[in-house]
Chain A
Amino acid sequence: MTATAESPVTISSGQDMTQVIPVLMPGATYASVTDQIGGIVQRPLTWLWIMAFGITFVVVMVLTGAIAYLLLRGVGIWGIDIPVAWGFAITNFVWWIGIGHAGTFISAMLLLMRQNWRTSINRFAEAMTLFAVACAGMFPLMHLGRIKFFYWLAPYPNTMALWPQFRSALVWDVFAVSTYGLVSLIFWYVGLIPDLATMRDRSRNRFTWTIYGMMAMGWRGDSRHWLRYQTAYLLLAGLAAPLVVSVHSIVGMDFSEAQLPGWHSTIFPPYFVAGAIFSGFAMVLTLAIPMRSLFGFKNLITIRHIDNCCKLMLVTELLVAYGYAAEVYTGWYSGSVYESYMTMNRFIGPYAPAYWSLIFCNIVAPQILWSRRVRQNVIIVFILSLVINVGMWLERFMIIITSLQRDFLPSSWGMYYPTFWDWATFIGTLGLFFCMFFLFARLLPAISIAEVRELVHETAGGSVPPSKMEPANVI
């Protein structure tokens, strides 16, 4: 809230910023925090929110229409063809799943690493994860030629005496994504319980009282509750952490198990995971920066948070850059006409613009993050986060389309032109994502009240310098 915190100019260079900007602005008390966060949910609807929600809701209706028509006519309504039999659907799937990664990374990984700056962003990052996974999960279903038989991918006893084909990564995809979705949901919900209790206690009418009451599962906040809660939360974190790696590794294998030039590459799993976290943090920032100013969370989500996210993005961005470099190198070093042609085709083929713009978005643009001034300029960071979101989508598009478009036999080369329904489905999921996020922001505390309270306690209202802080969640 104080201007000093907001303006990086007050920091003389050479000084460690983390010494100056704490994860929690001074002057926070238990009550103030509770009021600030909990109050959002109880304050009356603003026109801004209604409009934003309204627009996204309309887009969701578009999605519904697109899906209805899909069920009616079949996947032929999309631009896919032979050779490019996978188009937007899989691109979007990989992109959304990638975005979903930041949530679990923040809540699980950082928790285990005792990064207490996570506390004020983990809640909505997890929410984001859930919604992203929800959007992602739709696509593998929708892109099936015969959706009605989707359950054949699951191993269940049947009168055909048949099992799925476990050599195919697509089967593992089903397991990976659904597990990931489930664990994230539980993790998120467990984290919510104390806050739900708070909301229950603060609720002014019987209806919300009952709803929050049921969801709070009778949380009374006595020490026994807290002890078990902490244990469960930590265990779940341990459970979720490996998923961060596993899910996108499997998604990477969806491609790398093929022998198609451009897919057939052992670097895919790590390269996909890095890319996922990269895009995930980009999306976190895309959501965090407007939220902290709209909901007045500047004292809770400080420049320090943004700065940290930027640093993480920079790291993962470098990993991704390595991935691109490795692909080009392989193309040349393999000495295979198909590999080298694929690389050249990305450089100067019909989809070259997509390739070069993704190189700009994902490799060139993020380089500005080396500068602290940039990292602390929310406007620039916000714009950059959008650029990176676009870039990462283009990366998936490039991997899928340009590899399929011109493979081995020139006779079967082709192009991919997305149709109206491709776009409708893609934009529709964007609408769904933000629609759900707006609802979340209104119905649940977007920041973990309980954990921030802890922070208040540990930092004595944010007055103690973080370096002297005791790590949270000691059991």
Chain B
Amino acid sequence: MPRLFHRRMNVIARASLLAIPILAATAGGVAWHVQTTSYVTSQDITMEQPVPFSHKHHVGELGIDCRYCHTSVTDSSFAGLPPTKTCMTCHSQIWTNAAMLQPVRDSWRTGVPLQWQRVHNLPEYVYFDHSIHVAKGVGCATCHGQVDEMPLMFQAKSLEMSWCLECHRHPEEYLRPREEVFNLHYQSPPDQLKVGRELAERYHVRSAQALTDCYTCHR
């Protein structure tokens, strides 16, 4: 009876036995990694904006406070986006004919609002409230990063659910005194855990169990 397969086939057969689990494992690993890439989370991606507004310049260099533009951050779920009027308060005096500000002036003249590209974008079934986070001592930079060093705005954190839960499960690791919330250069103290616990106590931050209730963010 002639030989059906060449000897080498034995090697291949044995190798394949080994290869199958390895391949499976790799596939899983890749799948896991892809979820966390910026392709999915759009982290660190700088968006094209109608006006190249620089937080670096306005916040970092001019030192304008967050609340000057994001007026409702302390008392509404929505931090608020400055109406064209706010831009014009200064830019009707300075850079009055800078080409880059043309869209702003057009908007002011025609009454057609500017259309900014949304940077921090949560799924619609997530209900985030700025005011309560600010009230309980979560700093802007904790979630938005060093905005004062961003020429163009980008999403500094992954904004994945697991990322949210890090803080909702262990708030004490991230809390800061309320007066420091808008301070972009605040350094958390070496004994953050101890301080954090005190702050959580003082600000009536609810238990991790309560903070991780589904209804806290989903409705």
* Residues of A bordering B, CB below 8 Å: 157-162, 200-201, 209-210, 213-214, 217-218
Contact = CB atoms under 8 A, between A and B. Distances in A.
Contacts of A217: 13
Nearest to B165: A161
Contact of B162 (A161, A201, A210): A161
Contacts of B5: 213-214, 218
Contacts of A209: 4
24 contacts: A157-B32, A158-B35, A159-B35, A159-B36, A159-B158, A159-B160, A159-B161, A159-B162, A160-B160, A160-B161, A160-B162, A161-B161, A161-B162, A161-B165, A162-B161, A200-B4, A201-B1, A209-B4, A213-B4, A213-B5, A217-B13, A218-B5, A218-B9, A218-B13
A218 B10 CA distance: 8
Is chain B's interface secondary structure helix, strand, loop, or mixed overall?
helix
Interface residues of B, number: 14
Is chain A's interface secondary structure helix, strand, loop, or mixed overall?
loop
A207 B162 CA distance: 53
A210 B165 contact: no
A204 to B, nearest CB: 13
Contacts of A213: 4-5
A287 to B, nearest CB: 32
Contacts, number: 28
Contacts of B165: 161
A158 B36 CA distance: 9
Nearest to A162: B161
Interface in B1-35: 1, 4-5, 9-10, 13, 32, 35
Nearest to A216: B4
The 10 closest A-B pairs by CB, nearest first: A161-B162, A159-B160, A213-B4, A160-B161, A161-B165, A159-B35, A159-B162, A157-B32, A161-B161, A209-B4
Contacts of A218: 5, 9-10, 13
Contacts of A214: 5
B21 to A, nearest CB: 14
Given A217-B13, A218-B5, A218-B10, 5 more contacts: A158-B35, A159-B161, A201-B1, A209-B4, A210-B4
Contacts of B13: 217-218
A210 B36 CA distance: 44
